[in-house]
Amino acid sequence: MLIRKEDFPKVALSKMNEIHSTEIDIVNSLYDAVVRCIEGKESVETVDKLLREFLNDVREHFSFEQELMEKYGFFAYPMHKGEHDNVLRELASVESIWEEKKNPATIKEYLENYFAPWIVNHVQTMDTVTAMFLSNFVHAE
Ligand SMILES: [Fe+2]
Ligand SMILES: [Fe+2]
């Protein structure tokens, strides 16, 4: 397990919390498969499949937030989107290194040292402020 759900910050919009919760499940499954793969107990194909699932989920997660921010004119939209874009760029490079080398240690290192601390910090700061702002408009979501 990479991220403990109990320790993960909650924001003021329940739909965002749901998306985060699903993402934690997906990234934890990927991480566990990567660790097993390093030990020779999991196939590269499984890691491949879970990595793709994770990348799609992250893209949908970021798009969801960005659409709401645009729709309701969130003041720090460019800054929030900028953080998303940085991570999408990192993920694209992790993906291409993986495609080339199929070395699970690369994914493990990225998830532990970059993605996990980033997502906790991002949700605690950017997402928290964004959700607070959006909750003035999006009561049902
Ligand atoms: Fe988020
Ligand atoms: Fe975000």
pLDDT-based confidence at 138, cuts 50/70/90?
confident
Arithmetic mean of pLDDT over the chain: 97
Which of 91, 83, 76 has the alpha carbon at shortest distance from 30? 91
Q: Which residues contact 48 (CB under 8 A, 6 or more apart)?
A: 98
Q: Provide mean pLDDT across the span 5-32.
A: 97
* Spatial separation of the C-alpha atoms in residues 30 and 13, rounded to whole Å: 26
Residue 44 CA, ligand 2 centroid: distance in Å: 30
Residue 39 CA, ligand 2 centroid: distance in Å: 33
State the pLDDT at residue 14: 95
Q: Provide mean pLDDT across the span 92-121.
A: 98
Which of 85, 118, 100 has the alpha carbon at shortest distance from 48? 100
Domains and CATH numbers, the chain: 12-134 (1.20.120.50)
Please name which ligand lies nearest the alpha carbon of 129: 2
State the pLDDT at residue 102: 98
Please name which ligand lies nearest the alpha carbon of 21: 1
pLDDT-based confidence at 140, cuts 50/70/90?
low
